[in-house]
Amino acid sequence: MEAMDAILTRRSIRRYTDRPVADEVVVELLRAAMAAPSAQNQQPWQFIVVRDRSLLTKMAHVSRYSGMVGGAQAAVVVCGDLTNERSPGFWVEDCAAATQNLLIAAHALGLGAVWVGIYPRRERVDRLRDLFKPPEEVIPFAVIPIGYPAENPGPVDRFDRERVHFDRW
């Protein structure tokens, strides 16, 4: 799949088949995530790959928006590692770029995924901390459930010329 096609046809997928996602595919997704740009090339990300069904089920209750995690074949918890931070505060943008790369790569590889926001909601961050026990300087940022899609919502053209301003407002 070409890059523009992957970007323009990617959709949030919340229902998955029972088909397992191979380890090699997960590694490719993480390779794409780690290819994201980051401030001063600080790469402040860490990733927790979750396949354990009981953990996926528990993650489905992290927020009212995370129910689909329980039906995924895997999930990736994207975390910001403040020990690697050279540009304070930019870990959020860096982890967002990594998350978007992962989502586009999943679609390009025939998988479905969705971005479940965790940070900055303290209660969501704390629930993931309770589950995974990361070091204090590692902050859960997002959860990305992954699986082969059991739905096909089709592409949506979100381009809106009225939101584009050339040279001045």
Arithmetic mean of pLDDT over the chain: 97
Domains of the chain: 12-151 (3.40.109.10)
**Residue 85 pLDDT > 90, yes or no?**
no
Q: Report pTM.
A: 0.97
User: Can you say whether the dihedral through the CA atoms of 120, 66, 107, 30 is positive or negative?
Assistant: positive
Tell me the pLDDT tens digit for each residue of 44-73.
999 999 999 999 999 999 999 999 999 999
Structural contact between residues 81 and 46, judged by C-beta atoms closer than 8 angstroms = yes
Q: What percent of the chain has pLDDT over 70?
A: 100
